[in-house]
Structure 1
Amino acid sequence: MRVHAYAADEAGGRLRAHEYEAEPLGHNEVDVRVTHCGVCHTDVGMIDDEFGVSRYPVVAGHEAVGIVAAVGDAVDQDLLPIGQRVGVGATAGSCFRCQWCMSGRHNLCPHKDNMVLRGDRGGFADHVRASDWRFVCPLPDAISSADAAPLLCAGSTVFNPLVDNDVRPIDRVAVVGIGGLGHLAVQFLAKWGCAVTAISTTPDKEQDARRFGATDFIATSEEGALREAANSFDFVLSTVSADLPWDDYLGVLRPRGTLCVVGVPPGPIAAATMSLLPEEKRIAGGVTASPTRNRQMLEFAARHGITAAVETFPISDVEQALDRVRRGAARYRVVLEL
């Protein structure tokens, strides 16, 4: 089968039409005919070789939504029938042998099928392959395909830490950055039952943040804003890809509070010892979830009407879509329609 995709041949290069011959379907593999694919900042980073790991040609895309077109002979079609609407997210398979897989943490498998590292086998294409059917998520009817795409990475990234860090409905929480990740985090936490404070550099996004469910707002450009919030939160989720004054953010935590970082700051995360030790505070990391938790995330989103705010572009306008993401201009996620 010939797959028709859009690839970059060099760092920062424009995308061109690209074709490759798909290998024969493996026993556990699923072929998905793509109808929508989200555009994540990581996709732009791979096209631009921002992380120094790109292998060209690069076909980006790891938030793919579409229809099951074919399955391997080991796939139970009662569970994943041909024609089922599904999503294939950041992780499309794992080894199912290591201690992380055996404990249900497939997302931490050192041999996982990481979609962003595949080279020319990404989701900006008419077909995408999941290396294991257990990573293919049937989509709830209540969530449209365009809305579902960003949930497969951005939604998973912000939902997973809520469970991992035992965030409770009685907790006071804050979300740093109201962007592609942050606008979903605010919605999840608000529906979780928490009192949510949105934190952004300027007041520009306050109205949007409150619409997403924030009960309070902090603009860090205002003098002393973080100091006034000292000892306020049980959990702070940082979704920004920027270096922050880490001691100041630890300072807004209550005793035993957690600062969880899911954005990718360019520099090291450094904090004073006394910002952590006396009140048993923690700094934690977060990544996209396991297959089971991704299904739970989608069910939770469907139940509570949580959707990404999306801008859709036909695949023919992919360069315009990428430009929106590069400039941080999207409000709040970009989705390609194939």
Structure 2
Amino acid sequence: MTILHSLLSNPSRKKNKDPSSQTEATSSASHWVEVEDTRLGTTYKPSHVYRHQSMRFKGNDRNDFFANEPMTGNLGISGYILMVCSYILLALTFPIAICFCVKVVKEYERAVIFRLGRLLPGGARGPGIFIVIPCIDTYRKVDLRVLSFDVPPQEILSRDAVTVAVDVVVYFRISNATISVTNVEDSSRSTKIISTNNFEEYTCDREQISLQMQSTLDEITSPWGVKVERVEMKDVRLPVQLQRAMAAEAEATREAGAKIIAAEGEQKASKALSEAALIVSQSPVALQLRFLQTLSTISAEKNRTIIFPLPMEIVRHFIKRNRYYRQNK
């Protein structure tokens, strides 16, 4: 915040020398200042903020200078002349003037009235009938229903250096009509989304991110009289080139995983086969049983030719006889 300028109070007021009312005298003789909030782009004109006081406000601790106060300052001579002329005009055109003075707001609306640019005391009017004086009174209707604000897609650089386009919808309502009119120019457009999450959180934990954004927006817009009801992330999109790169990376990761799984399967199969061979070599009967099992499996299929392998003992016998006949010749 920056202090723009200060105005001296009315010099005709005299300081009270009574110590018991020293504070009141100091207040009446002090300066009042205009304060510009650079974050909201709004100028405040408090009537009870003085030069010696701190002008720093934090979040919801900032006081509203308009909602609960009567019209600040005097209307001046010209203002009173306009008021008198307006009342005289109403009296002269009484039957017809009523049509221009009586206004109606609906159940979900409130009217904030300004008289010669100054907020009238009593807060917002409505629902129902209220009276305005033509020429000197103006009013603004405020809708209290839940409204939706579609934030244009924003490109955000996530924490893991991935550019994502986030499409968000904000649902909000006006909680204080007077503050929403006097403290911000357009409450429906005063929103900003800041996120420091990574891409995986955008895609997998949207609900939690939406709650975080709702809390952040609600804290920022509370001094404006705006209550953020819900924030929804409709879509999270990536650039086309980045989509192709991530798809290639995901495919390579899947292929590497498949190869690792296949290698582990072959390793386990080889280990099981070596253990089975060791068991069969230690028991000749097991080899014969395996031989018979293989024959039964082959015979179950529709094959016309079946090859019966001979046991090694019979083969050795024939080999010996063949060698014996050759030697005798």
- Which TM-score applies when normalising by structure 2? 0.19
More helix by share: 2
Q: Based on CA coordinates, which of the two structures has the bigger radius of gyration?
A: 2
* Structure having greater relative contact order (Cα 8 Å, sep ≥ 6): 1
